[in-house]
Amino acid sequence: MPESALPAPSASGRLRRIALCLQYDGSAYCGWQRQPRDPSVQETLEAALAQLDPHRPASVVAAGRTDSGVHAAAQVVHFDALGPIPAQRWPAALNGRLPASIRVRAAAAVPADWHACFSASYRRYRYTLYNARTPNLFLAPWSWHRYQVRLDEQRMRQALEGMLGRHDFAAFERAGSSRSHSVTSLQEVAIVRRGDLIEVELQASGFLYGMVRLVMGQLVAVGEGRLSLPAFERRWRERAREEVKEAAPPQGLCLLRVGYPEPVFNEAAWYDCQPRYLLESSDAPPGGPIG
């Protein structure tokens, strides 16, 4: 960008905090957080911001640090801007500089003490399972294909509902977490079968490192009849991390939205923005519900 085209600092010389709602296809990234060697969503977004507000280093804070390969339908981030670009113009300005795998859906000016992570009251994830015999090229990047047995979503729902409330979920925390404890509050759970697709949604005040994928690995074992409901409950209540060996693959997981005490964006921009497929149950694996 030529020097004459660079935005000048704001007239007041004061930083303004801007919140963004963004979507990304996590397939091409090592996750949200900047890494030394592999491309991250954070690094890519900060590079675009640096072109638009070159008077200060770009630094972006996210509501949740998604893992490698995990998608986001409405991730929320904030940054402090010095240039004069109005909040409502940031989406168009950034989308012209970002790759097609990242899109800013909305922007809003927020108070200086507002924080994308610490001000959030919940995070909600959706995991999509494809439960049919025949592979589907168009579903593969966004779901986990389980084709051996028809999953029993009723048993899976029972397993999840027993986890509601505030508990120590150390059994579902990957090694390497920087948290001082593994206690969190699971606020809502939902499982819906749409033909050959099963959507599992988990909402919590915060999630442990790798928690959703570890839960899903165990939950599928319950749905396939390989793990009993009592054994599932015992594992997490007794914090038996050594028995939780299977994690679901990342491509089925999507950060659906982040909630705040006061709405930041209009509902169309951030609420339930992951499109749904609807498939008839014509190719389900044999066996019927597992008793």
Which tops the pLDDT comparison, 179 or 162? 162
Residue of 25, 53, 67, 152 with catalytic role:
67
25 an active-site residue?
no
In this prediction, residue 284 has a pLDDT band, given cuts at 50, 70 and 90, of: low
Mean pLDDT of 237-246: 95
Same fold for the domain at 3-110 and the one at 122-270? yes
The predicted structure's pLDDT at residue 175: 84
Q: Is the pLDDT of residue 7 over 50?
A: no
Residue 1: per-residue pLDDT: 37
- Confidence bin at 63 (pLDDT 50/70/90): very high
Cβ atoms of 236 and 172 within 8 Å: the answer is yes
| Tens-place pLDDT, residues 92-146 | 999 999 999 999 999 999 999 999 999 999 999 999 999 999 999 999 999 999 9
What is the model's pLDDT at position 286? 67
Domain 3-110 is found in CATH 3.30.70.580: yes
Q: Report domain extents, the chain.
A: 3-110, 122-270
Neighbours of 52 (CB within 10 A): 19
Alpha-carbon distances of 217 from 9, 194, 241, 250, rounded to whole Å: 50, 20, 13, 11
Which CATH number applies to 122-270? 3.30.70.660
- pLDDT tens profile 133-155: 999 999 999 999 999 999 999 99
